[in-house]
Amino acid sequence: MYKNISDWDRMIAGKLYNSSSKDIEKQHNDGMYRCDRFNKIPVRRTKAKQRALEKLIPSAKGNYLGVFAPFYCEYGVNIHVGKGCFVNYNCTFLDVASIILGDGVWIGANVTIATPNHPFLAEERLPADYPDGNYDLEYASPITINEGCWICSGATICGGVTIGKNSIVAAGAVVNRDVPPNSIVAGVPAKVIRQIDEGDRINVWETYVKNEFPVPARDKK
């Protein structure tokens, strides 16, 4: 009965799948090819690079996704983006399960978003011979980063995490549990430092027009 379910369908559903199966290998190779092609197209070839990005991440079409190369992912088709997202240099999206970015999500340089997981026991984690062949079994959990979030440089987002809207993940943080909306989290593992509120307002337009340094409202008191 288990042979009636493809490993791709198992993978997408978050169940154990054989990562060395032929259908997974083909999808993975196709994804790596599209990723390599995107990275190799010169920046000045704007239209060609955009076409390559949309082939790599189909949800990018019409959503004004900006990605600075190099960018790395496994499949691309499991990355789903809202409007106006931005991904900075040298980011890695391991999209074994879905990676969902809401509208206006910003991803800093060197960020890793990793959905895969593996059995903790080495004897179950390593490829092994089973009754009908050799299997390399693993699984993955989706990641959702809601609208308006900013993931700062060098952060790692682990599988199964949901980050609430308008939150900020500090540089170098490792997020292994859900983040409430409008929160700043930092550390390893990441913990809520405080909520974002009106005290953080810097009146961007007025400050820009006056050519002043940006100072949060709470620091002006």
Q: Give me the active site residues, please.
A: 118
* Token duo for residue 61: 């079409």
CA angle 86, 89, 94 (to 5 degrees): 80
21, 51, 92, 122, 196 from 113: Cα distances, Å: 24, 23, 6, 24, 23
Residues whose CB is less than 8 angstroms from the CB of residue 105 and which lie 6 or more positions away in sequence, other chains included:
81, 82, 85, 86, 145, 146, 147, 148, 149, 150, 151
Give the 3-state DSSP-derived string for 95-129, with helices as H, strands as E and coil as C.
CCCCEEECCCCEECCCCEEECEECCCCHHHHCCEE
